Amino acid sequence: MKERENVPHEGLTLDLDKLDYISSAGLRVILRLRKLEPELKLVNVSSEVYEVFSMTGFTEMMPVEKAMRKLSVEGCEAIGRGANGTVYRIDKDTVVKVYHNSDSLPDVQRERELARKAFVLGIPTAIPYDVVKVGDSYGSVFELLNSSSFSRLIREHPEKLEEYVRTYVDIMLKLHSTEVKPGELPEMKNIALGWEDYLRGELPDEYLDKLLRLIREIPDRYTLLHGDYHTNNIVVQEDEVLIIDMDTLCTGHPIFELAFMWLAFVGFGELEERMSSDFFKLSGAMTGELWRTALRLYLGSADEAYLASVEEKAMTIGYARLMRRTLKRGGMDNDFGRATIEHCRQRLFELLDKLDSLYF
């Protein structure tokens, strides 16, 4: 018991945010601490002090984390906004994705790992090269030299819509043909089945049970899905096309990707068009045309009946996701949220009454 009392803490972490110099005497103090605290960890270490730790071998003896660079996005152009963060252009060469939540550091690190994994698999993606503090939150910094999103290119050159969408679809097909080992990434079907927690009680049991059964019957696929694949997340940098915003990377059947695309381009704007038009800075008519063109090119078919059947399957998953999203965000507490939930409910009734599968 006395031996236990001689160990003051388990996993002691020293925050060295205010330390800008360390002498040999200071290094000896840290060595003595480590003898008492085998799990000692040093964080917020300045570049100068980190160099000393590195040269003396301390970085091989214990975890030593560099302090994060601090950035301000005041006055910067917001070039994209998603569910998890907002992307700002810092200068002509650099953008930063700032996460909305102040406790988002694990999300930042997870996205970096997912982007790295996609890059290794041959997916053309931008990899964040730095993690920074932005106010009370965190951000990932990307080097995107004078890049333009596909949304911007379509807005500036609407006559080239089909050309841009064809490239957009080609990259999506590459994603959907890239296979990974089962369990290596989140499986979208399992995520969708988890929506039951929010939808139970909001949909009659017979409709929810049918929806869940149809989702379970979607064939398992261990090929990549981006999970948020829209024209704000595809950029051109010096003639190279790149995918950004990789925090939703997962595996599954392509119907899930199509469902989330339909939701971004069409579904969000059904009750209020500006929700889509403000997001893409494109008219509702243009986002609708974009969706229809992408679906036709992706399926390689001009058969209107077939296109409509796949669209209905995508819409079903899209409405379920939108309903769950609205409920999770407290939608029952405001008029627009309640209207969105009721709209999704009625559309799901219509679609589930006629569909026998959700895959193609």
Claim to verify: residue 22 and residue 75 sit in the same structural domain? no
14 to 21, 42, 105: CA distances (angstroms): 15, 5, 18
Query: What pLDDT band is residue 238 in, cutting at 50, 70 and 90?
Result: confident
Q: Is the pLDDT of residue 9 over 70?
A: no
pLDDT at 295: 98
Query: What pLDDT band is residue 146 in, cutting at 50, 70 and 90?
Result: confident
Write 163-168 long-range contacts (CB < 8 A, 24+): 164/231, 165/290, 165/293, 165/294, 165/297, 166/297, 167/241, 168/231, 168/234, 168/294
pLDDT tens digit string along 117-130? 999 999 999 888 88
The residue with greater pLDDT, 330 or 129, is 330
Phi, psi of 85 (to 5 degrees): -170, 175
Does the residue 359 lie in any domain? no
Claim to verify: residue 275 and residue 326 sit in the same structural domain? yes
Q: Among the three residues 21, 47, 67, which one is the final residue of a domain in this structure?
A: 67
Claim to verify: residue 156 and residue 133 sit in the same structural domain? no
Claim to verify: residue 223 and residue 346 sit in the same structural domain? yes
Claim to verify: residue 216 and residue 336 sit in the same structural domain? yes
Claim to verify: residue 253 and residue 171 sit in the same structural domain? yes
DSSP assignment of 268-285 equals GGSS-THHHHHHHTS-HH
Structural contact between residues 74 and 111, judged by C-beta atoms closer than 8 angstroms? no
Query: What pLDDT band is residue 2 in, cutting at 50, 70 and 90?
Result: very low
Claim to verify: residue 24 and residue 102 sit in the same structural domain? no
Q: Is the pLDDT of residue 355 over 60?
A: yes
Q: Is the pLDDT of residue 283 over 90?
A: yes
Claim to verify: residue 230 and residue 279 sit in the same structural domain? yes
> Which range marks the domain in which residue 17 is found?
2-67
**How confident is the prediction for the chain on average, in pLDDT?**
92
Among 45-49, 72-76, 250-254, 310-314, the minimum mean pLDDT is found in: 45-49
The residue with greater pLDDT, 81 or 269, is 269
Claim to verify: residue 19 and residue 88 sit in the same structural domain? no
